[in-house]
Amino acid sequence: MPELPEVETVRRGLLPVMEGQDIASAQVRRPDLRWPFPPRMAERLSGQHVVRLRRRSKYILADLGSGETLILHLGMSGRILISGQMQGRFHHHHPAPEKHDHVVLDMVNGARVTFNDARRFGAMDLAPTETVEDHPLLAGLGPEPFGNAFHEDYLVARLRGRNTPIKAALLDQRVVAGLGNIYVSEALFRAGISPRRKAGRIAAPRVRALVPIIRDVLSEAIEAGGSSLRDHRQTNGELGYFQHAFRVYDREGHACPTPGCTGTIARIVQSGRSSFYCPSCQR
Looking up residue 57, the CATH number of its domain turns out to be: 3.20.190.10
Same structural domain for residues 199 and 79? no
- Establish if 263 belongs to a structural domain: no
- Establish if 110 belongs to a structural domain: yes
Same structural domain for residues 160 and 219? yes
- Establish if 211 belongs to a structural domain: yes
Position 203: which residue type?
Answer: A
Q: Which of 134, 168, 190 is the last residue of a domain?
A: 134
Same structural domain for residues 28 and 114? yes
Same structural domain for residues 24 and 114? yes
Q: Residue 114: which region, alpha, beta or left (left: phi > 0; alpha: psi -120 to 50)?
A: beta
- Establish if 205 belongs to a structural domain: yes
User: Could you list the pLDDT tens digit for every one of the 283 residues in the chain?
Assistant: 688 998 999 999 899 999 999 999 999 999 999 999 999 999 999 999 999 999 999 999 999 999 999 999 999 888 898 888 544 444 556 777 778 999 999 999 999 999 999 999 999 999 999 999 999 999 999 999 999 999 999 999 999 999 999 999 999 999 999 999 999 999 999 999 999 999 999 999 999 999 999 999 999 888 887 764 444 445 555 544 455 578 999 899 999 999 999 999 999 999 899 999 999 999 9
- β-pair partners for 125: 71
- Establish if 10 belongs to a structural domain: yes
- What is residue 238's predicted lDDT score, i.e. its pLDDT? 54
pTM: 0.89
Position 158: which residue type?
Answer: R
Q: What does DSSP say about strands 123-128 and 86-87: parallel, antiparallel, or unpaired?
A: unpaired
- What is residue 240's predicted lDDT score, i.e. its pLDDT? 44
- What is residue 207's predicted lDDT score, i.e. its pLDDT? 98
Structural domain including 240 reads 152-245
Same structural domain for residues 121 and 212? no
- The catalytic residue positions are 2-3, 58, 273
Query: Nearest CA to 114 among 105, 123, 126?
Result: 105
How many domains, the chain? 2
Long-range contacts of 39-47 (CB under 8 A, 24+ apart): 41/124, 41/126, 44/68, 44/126, 45/70, 45/105, 45/126, 47/22, 47/23
Same structural domain for residues 98 and 182? no
- What is residue 85's predicted lDDT score, i.e. its pLDDT? 59
